[in-house]
Chains A and B, each alone.
Chain A
Amino acid sequence: MQQDQARPAPQETTYREAVRAAIRDAMQRDERVFLMGEDVGRYGGCYAVSKGLLAEFGPKRIRDTPLSESGFTGAGIGAAMAGMRPIVEVMTVNFSLLALDQILNNAASIRSMSGNQFGVPLVIRMATGAGRQLAAQHSHSLEGWYAHIPGIKVLAPATLEDARGMLWTALEDPDPVLIFENIMLYNMSGPLAADAGPVDIDKAAIRRAGRDISLITYGGSLFKTLEAATQLAAEGVEAEVVDLRSLRPLDDETIVASVRKTRRAVVIDEGWRSGSLAAEICMRLVEQAFFDLDAPLARVCSEEVPIPYPSHLEQAAIPQATKIVAAAKRVLGREG
């Protein structure tokens, strides 16, 4: 293991710092890259992701915008069409609805609609998810909606390595890529290799191997799911945890291989249950692994309610380890 010894020691890093390092790295690698969004410069980013970057790169490349989601998202699309590599930051997924016309009708459509004459190599980052008592207009998980749209790619980095590594790969992609950062992950801290760099953006990852049941999730629900797997292990159940990483395209191969092995699955998704990404994954399992299943599929999703303000109701509305454990036990026939 000499090679490992030669590597610099891992640094204690937060998810927020990992995203910032990814932006800084991209800005240094390619002068076509610039960051644009509300309060990304002087304020340092709504979630402090871009703090310090204005001083380092200046106001042309760390570009504060007015509150014009459609305007500056469209500007990112136009700039990408003209050969730049913009990173557009939208404060939260709820606000991205103001830019949905640009994302769907332009970014996702222009390559096909123009017969491949124009492409949109753009990255749009946004915060998603509940847990900070921000109530119904700042807390939703709409990444599943975006995953419905052909023409864009949708990523959900859940680990420090992915927060650090997905951005550059996304910027190298010739098509628009949306990156969803769950707000509960920004303060997550852990060791990150000092030389951590770009990672693939098209494969799901097995975060915990197991043989009894597949727990399939992404983003902010990953750590709740890993916690559930730990609790299940204490009861003798070896759960396999699949982190989707990419919500569009979905890595069917990894998902189906896991379920073929475990023969049971629970999908955990912070989106609302009806018409959810979880529903899509379950259906793909039905299509591709029906005869490998030993039990009905199950889902743990958000309750069908606008996310409420009080903490106890907010927490009751979104997936939790206890709900995941309960769902897994039902699928395993180990109830009460």
Chain B
Amino acid sequence: MSATIDKPRLSRTHALDLLRHMLRIRRFEEKCAELYTQEKIRGFLHLYDGEEAVAVGVIPVLEAHDRIVATYREHGHALVRGITMKAALAEMYGKQEGCSGGRGGSMHLFDRATNFCGGNAVVGGGLPLAIGLALADHMRKEKIVTACFFGDGAVAEGEFHESLNLAALWGLPVLFICENNLYAMGTALAVAQSETDLHAKAACYRLASEAVDGMDVIAVEAAARRAAQAVRETGKPYFLECRTYRFRAHSMFDAQLYRDKAEVEAWREKDPISRFRNWVAAAHMVHPDEIARIESEIAGEIAEAVAFAEAGTWEPVETLTRFTYAPKTV
């Protein structure tokens, strides 16, 4: 692992936390894929398999009052932020006990309590929102960071460029997190971009920016801590490109005709979870029994979440149109 220099005192507890977070996402989504084939989860399902180190490296360095804008591939972010597995899975079932009342599904997990401002399913559409959230904080002189996640596909959208410019121009506390997994659905970065070094694009808007190995949770965390601290101290935006890879298909409908199996296998060698697990084991930081215990706890949590979602209730059709507008206050 590369970045222990930036964080020399990685405690055992912290290492276990990181591993637990990543495993929770991985196992949860493995279950989601299974539930999808059973048609318990419908619609689109975008898995974060391979990219876990990004959410796990970034989100815990944020504070409770900070805000998060995420994409449609946001199960991992939601779990790390503190949305319960039960509430997330019930949402994916479409049950009213879900974190968005069942109205959003997999792509639209929201949670007011943790300032989780939604999975946004229009690529690039979340960036202007993040600008506005940060603008509100900026105008009220509050030291709140808005972390905005988006993929490499969003970099081609006009909203990306408009938003970076606005953030830098107005000095807004936005932490841009580009999750560069090299593919916008099936379009490779090199097919879509004249400049494939994405963090360099931030420079033309005068944003502080850096790129980090997104398969290395420690490196991501160290960079995210620096970045979030810079945003909080200066009130200015920061751009962090996390270079990562999606092991699975874009969504459950994707036959993956656009990439070689060998490429996927090569990236699997860099799996952020096995890499980190091997590293902590080699450093004798974590006993195999502890990992087994974590796995067992996660399995229990997943089983409870499935039971919760199964037992969840459907919103009555009678309330179909509620919340299109705010309920009338009496």
Contacts and interface: CB of A to CB of B under 8 A. Distances in A.
A and B: interacting chains: yes
B165 A84 contact: no
A119 B102 CA distance: 17
20 contacts: A65-B166, A72-B162, A74-B127, A74-B163, A75-B131, A77-B128, A77-B129, A101-B159, A105-B122, A112-B323, A113-B108, A114-B101, A114-B112, A115-B104, A116-B323, A116-B326, A117-B111, A118-B110, A150-B324, A175-B326
Interface string A46-78: 000000000000001000011010111111111
A266 B122 CA distance: 40
B254 to A, nearest CB: 22
A78 B129 contact: yes
A106 B127 CA distance: 11
Given A113-B100, A115-B102, A116-B101, A77 B132 contact: yes
A149 to B, nearest CB: 10
Nearest to A153: B325
B70 interface: no
B115 to A, nearest CB: 9
Contacts of B99: 115
Interface stretch (B134-142, B259-267, B268-276): B134-142
A152 to B, nearest CB: 9
Q: Give the interface centre of A74, A112, A115, A153 by most chain B CB atoms within 10 Å.
A: A115
B316 interface: no
Contact of A112 (B98, B127, B324): B324
B132 A82 contact: yes
Contacts of B323: 111-112, 115-116
Interface of B: 67, 98-104, 108, 110-112, 117-118, 120, 122, 125, 127-137, 139, 158-159, 162-163, 165-166, 169, 321-327
Contacts of A101: 122, 125, 159
Contacts of A75: 128-129, 131-132, 135, 166
Contact of A81 (B132, B162, B163, B326): B132
A66 B162 contact: yes
A201 B7 CA distance: 58
A72 B112 contact: no
B66 to A, nearest CB: 12
Contacts of A68: 162, 165-166
Q: Give the interface centre of B112, B129, B158 by most chain A CB atoms within 10 Å.
A: B129
Interface string A122-164: 0000000000000000000000000000110100000000000
Given A101-B125, A115-B101, A66 B325 contact: no
A174 B165 contact: no
Contacts of B128: 70-75, 77-78, 102, 106
A301 B208 CA distance: 53
Contacts of A106: 120, 125, 128-129
A15 interface: no
B133 A78 contact: yes
A78 B136 CA distance: 8
Interface string A26-62: 0000000010000000000000000000000000100
Contacts of A332: none
A71 B165 contact: yes
B44 to A, nearest CB: 14
Contacts of B131: 71, 74-75, 78
A224 to B, nearest CB: 32
Interface string A78-89: 111111101000
A128 to B, nearest CB: 23
Contact of A72 (B110, B122, B166): B166
Given A78-B128, A112-B324, A84 B103 contact: no
Interface of A: 34, 60, 65-66, 68, 70-84, 86, 101-102, 105-106, 110-119, 150-151, 153, 174-175
A80 B112 CA distance: 14
Contacts of A82: 67, 132-133, 136-137
Ranked 3 nearest A-B pairs via Cβ: A78-B132, A74-B128, A115-B101
Given A66-B165, A113-B108, A74 B132 contact: yes
Given A78-B128, A115-B103, A116-B101, 18 more contacts: A60-B139, A68-B165, A72-B162, A74-B129, A82-B67, A101-B125, A102-B128, A105-B122, A105-B125, A113-B100, A113-B104, A113-B108, A114-B103, A114-B118, A115-B100, A115-B101, A116-B323, A174-B325
A174 to B, nearest CB: 4
A41 B169 CA distance: 16
Nearest to B137: A82
Nearest to B98: A115
A83 B138 CA distance: 12
A75 B136 CA distance: 9
A83 B136 contact: yes
A101 B129 CA distance: 12
B130 A78 contact: yes
Nearest to A110: B118
A76 B132 contact: yes
Nearest to A78: B132
A205 B122 CA distance: 39
Nearest to B326: A174
A140 to B, nearest CB: 21
Nearest to A67: B162
Contact of B103 (A71, A80, A112): A112
B82 to A, nearest CB: 15
Given A78-B132, A174-B326, A71 B166 contact: yes
Nearest to B110: A114
A79 B118 CA distance: 15
A70 B165 CA distance: 12
A248 to B, nearest CB: 10
Contacts of B111: 117
